[in-house]
Structure 1
Amino acid sequence: MSQSLSRRQFLAATSAACAVTAVSPGSTKAAAATDRMKVGFIGVGGRGGSNLRAIEATGKVDVVAACDVDNRYVDQVAMRHPGVAKFSDFRKMYDAIGKDLDAVVVSTTEHTHAYATMPALQLGKHVYCEKPLAYNVYETRRITEAAADGGVVTQMGTQIHAGKNFRRVVELIQSGAIGPVMEAHVWVGRAWGLQSEADAKANKDRIFVDKRPTEAMAPPPNIDWDVWLGPAPERPFHEVYFPGPNWYRWWDFGNGTMSDLGSHWNDLPFWALQLDAPQTVEAFGPPPHAEIAPASMSAVYQYGPRGNQPALQMTWYQGSHKPEIWKSGGIPQWGSGVLFMGTKGMLLSDYNKHVLLPEDKFADFEPPEQFIADSPGHHAEWVNACGGEGTTGSPFSYAGPLTEANHLGNVAYRVGKKITWDAKNMKCVGCPEADPFIRREPRAGWSL
């Protein structure tokens, strides 16, 4: 194919763009390969518990600290790891044993990611942080810069990035299988956010809510509510916020479906098309709610040319919003997917499978020779890299710009107008009303 690159040409031209950060003794604080890594886990229930078990399963770490606002989860870890240091407040964990740790795993709620991660980076510790990397653009940029300054091994928890399917799709796109891509569409069926009561029932939501509750509830005795609030504005405990995933809906704690699933689904075009900061973003949906993210919305991103790739329009859809080609039956109507539209055809992918379209045109197509190595597993990548072996697929140098771009979709939605993004200065040009959505002042007692 005339648009194709040889494997050697591709690796030479785009090794940095594949979002893997090499680990070398001169540039990182990697532990010796024979050392067992001493790891502190912040957030050990739910997703955090899964991360702990996956990292523990590598057989290369010692679990030395467990921290969670729910003391039941901490006690469960202590039963399996007698002698583990127990905390409910990660600030106290860092004060007590931060210098003794080799690495930290952060699996808290979105609004405390940056605050739990920053101390580790400043101490020169390796970090695995769940997605999204941070709560807003400003916090994300601070974490990205601190990771670069610290020279440590990092990984954001986009586990599907390590799957074989995404790697084969990236190879197809970057080797020119469908020609230059000038249009991409990403859609997800999940609709965490403000929705009608009928839709809430249809989606089997346990709690329907369309406004902040006025009554207070007593927090369960096992919960440290003040620490859970962290840098967010003060408010009484209520079940509409806690436990997860209820908090995802509320702007003070999360950023809805975009922030959650955008980290996974936008990862594929971001990687395959070597994206970074968008030039403009415009969003569409119901009128923005002051406190609750939308269930359904869409956002259109404009990117300029990148190397030998043309300008690109990428559109995100969530909930009831779908691409026109999907609604008209022009492609298989997968519930969630990524569609690349090139000059020679299309590629449709989800997490586990992909197809070149139209299928009859590609019936005899021979895929390129594999040039992206298979992963030992998303968690194993990070553990191995901390020990000086291999690389991570979603280091903060890559995950940071991805997270920022996702946040900008919500910024455009909340201001209700097309934004022009000045990435260097973290400003929406001529749109000062966007500033509070890019950066917020934390609650007293919390700072980066």
Structure 2
Amino acid sequence: MRIAFVESPSATGLSLAGRMDGMRSGVGHRVTRRGFLKRAGLVAGSVVGFPALVPSTVFGAGAPSNMLTMACVGVGGQGSGNMRAFHGSKEVRVMAVCDVDSSHCEKAAQAVGLGKEACFRDFREVVGREDIDLVSVGTPDHWHVPVSIAAVRAGKDVYCEKPLTLTIAEGRALADEAARYGRIVQTGSQQRSSSNFRLACELVRNGRIGKITEVTVGIPGNNRTCEPTWEPMPVPPELDYDLWLGPAPWEPYHKQRCHYEFRFLLDYSGGQITNWGAHHLDIAQWGLGMDDSGPVEVLGKGEFPTTGLFTTATKTHFEVVYANGVRLTCATGGSGTRFIGTEGMVYVDRGKLQTTPEALAKDTIGPDEIHLYESNNHIRNFIECVKTRKQPICNAEVGHRSSTLCHLGNIAMLLKRKLQWDPVKEQFVGDRAANGMAARAMRSPWRI
């Protein structure tokens, strides 16, 4: 499935139009799993192409010639951490900070020595500026692709937090646009820039544990709770709530809808599947050599809330099967990625590498064996690739494919049935309802 963005006279060339006009919920209305599925059905069959566009090659004039200039969009939590990492690199000058929450924006600007004049609410004010080379995207998930595509179309290279996308169709759109523009896009799945994850995947790829038969991935459960009933709350004066919602359906404000907890509402994210699956499922894809592909079958049986504000799975369990017969299971509980082969096992998590036989963990990959992309610093890898134009370790295509695996799991769990997936055409086989969930309708004035 493809998403189409229509050309606009705006500086970014981005205009998104939706079919969510007027679809306002009643006060305190709960979006149930059933309601979410009905929404998803609105977009079945939306397939169109992109206009050809020419990228800008103008570098910023507001910094010394050896410095790259950056705008940071979304600077709460991880976005702020990324901003500080870029600032600390001494090769990037942060020139603009953008957030729909002015308190976040001002705090972030101060952290990198900027004043209020460098603070903006609307990303469209900064991504098209000629004095900006790079854009860091640290927004909630439902804004990742709209902001990234706007930046790419404006000729910027992009560092976007994981999960790269909210939907499968968005991911295909961003990967295609990055390729069309010749832009560097790095996905923030930074485990690929850790030596123990790389070694684990090299051991697997070089046959150290024989033929792979099974992969298991553990992710956390929902670590936030909400009341069984909820009432709308006044919007804080520092928050532009309408812009925070952006392309998502309109819903009354509640503090647990925004900031960290957005991860647990399907309108904005995919729960812990996309939050942590974008790390551990990404490593599974890397180890299996599936960075440009995916499984052919998925079956889900997760559990979803029946009361309260949150709508993402409280208990995750889904299985996928690849064309080569490898079965991958992702479930709530534990953490990390375990590869099981006919001759051994490799388990990897942050700061941990365990193998059977045990001596494998200290093995050396020979000069004539498969050596995977080596990066020891995710931020640094992005900066180097901006300069050399080499693809980064977790580029848009890789980020899209790993995000797709997460989305497949969520879709299968929501539909509660086995689905056949074509990783070449990137669509479900003979299942209109499932294909309808590969994209989302967007609230006016944003369009697909």
Shift of 1:299: 0.9
Query: In structure 1, what is the equivalent of residue 51 of structure 2?
Result: none
Shift of 1:365: 7.3
**Secondary structure at 1:49 match in 2:** helix
Using the size of structure 1 for normalisation, the TM-score is 0.79
Q: Give me the whole-angstrom Cα distance separating, in 1, the residues matched to 2:107 and 2:304.
A: 44
Which residue identity lines up with residue 317 of structure 1 in the other structure?
A
Query: In structure 2, what is the equivalent of residue 283 of structure 1?
Result: 300
Question: Which of residues 141, 151, 168 in structure 2 aligns to 1:120?
Answer: 151
Q: Give me the whole-angstrom Cα distance separating, in 1, the residues matched to 2:235 and 2:440.
A: 26
The unaligned stretches of length 5 or more in structure 2 are: 1-54
Aligned 8 A contact 1:29 1:124 in 2: yes
1:246-268 C-alpha deviation (Å, 9 max, x unpaired): 11111111111101100000111
Query: In structure 2, what is the equivalent of residue 218 of structure 1?
Result: 234
1:254-297 C-alpha deviation (Å, 9 max, x unpaired): 11110110000011121111112210100122367696111212
State whether structure 2 residue 314 is matched by structure 1 residue 314.
Answer: no
Aligned 8 A contact 1:428 1:434 in 2: yes
Aligned 8 A contact 2:143 2:246 in 1: yes
**Secondary structure at 2:136 match in 1:** strand
Aligned 8 A contact 2:221 2:315 in 1: yes
Distance 1:336-1:149 versus aligned 2 partners, 3 A rule: same
Q: Give me the whole-angstrom Cα distance separating, in 2, the residues matched to 1:277 and 1:338.
A: 16
Query: In structure 2, what is the equivalent of residue 191 of structure 1?
Result: 221
Matches for 1:14-413 after TM superposition, within 5 Å:
35-79=66-110, 80-82=113-115, 85-94=118-127, 97-188=128-219, 190-192=220-222, 205=224, 207-210=225-228, 213=230, 215-244=231-260, 246-275=261-290, 276-286=293-303, 292-305=311-324, 311-319=325-333, 335-359=334-358, 362=359, 366-369=363-366, 371-372=371-372, 374-388=374-388, 391-413=391-413
Shift of 1:436: 3.7
1:396-423 C-alpha deviation (Å, 9 max, x unpaired): 1211111111111101111111111134
Aligned-residue CA RMSD (Å): 2.6
Q: Identity of counterpart residues, as a percentage?
A: 30
Q: Give me the whole-angstrom Cα distance separating, in 1, the residues matched to 2:109 and 2:202.
A: 44
Using the size of structure 2 for normalisation, the TM-score is 0.79
Distance 1:28-1:316 versus aligned 2 partners, 3 A rule: farther
Shift of 1:390: 5.8
Distance 1:72-1:436 versus aligned 2 partners, 3 A rule: same
Aligned 8 A contact 1:125 1:152 in 2: yes
**Secondary structure at 1:387 match in 2:** helix
Aligned 8 A contact 1:78 1:84 in 2: no
Shift of 1:144: 1.1
Distance 1:390-1:287 versus aligned 2 partners, 3 A rule: closer
Moved more, 419-428 or 163-172: 419-428
Which residue identity lines up with residue 124 of structure 2 in the other structure?
R
Aligned 8 A contact 1:381 1:390 in 2: no
Distance 1:119-1:416 versus aligned 2 partners, 3 A rule: same
Which residue identity lines up with residue 385 of structure 2 in the other structure?
A
Shift of 1:148: 1.0
**Secondary structure at 2:214 match in 1:** strand
Aligned pairs, number: 382
Shift of 1:30: 10
Distance 1:46-1:252 versus aligned 2 partners, 3 A rule: same
The unaligned stretches of length 5 or more in structure 1 are: 1-26, 193-202, 306-310, 320-334
Q: Give me the whole-angstrom Cα distance separating, in 1, the residues matched to 2:98 and 2:248.
A: 19
Shift of 1:76: 2.3
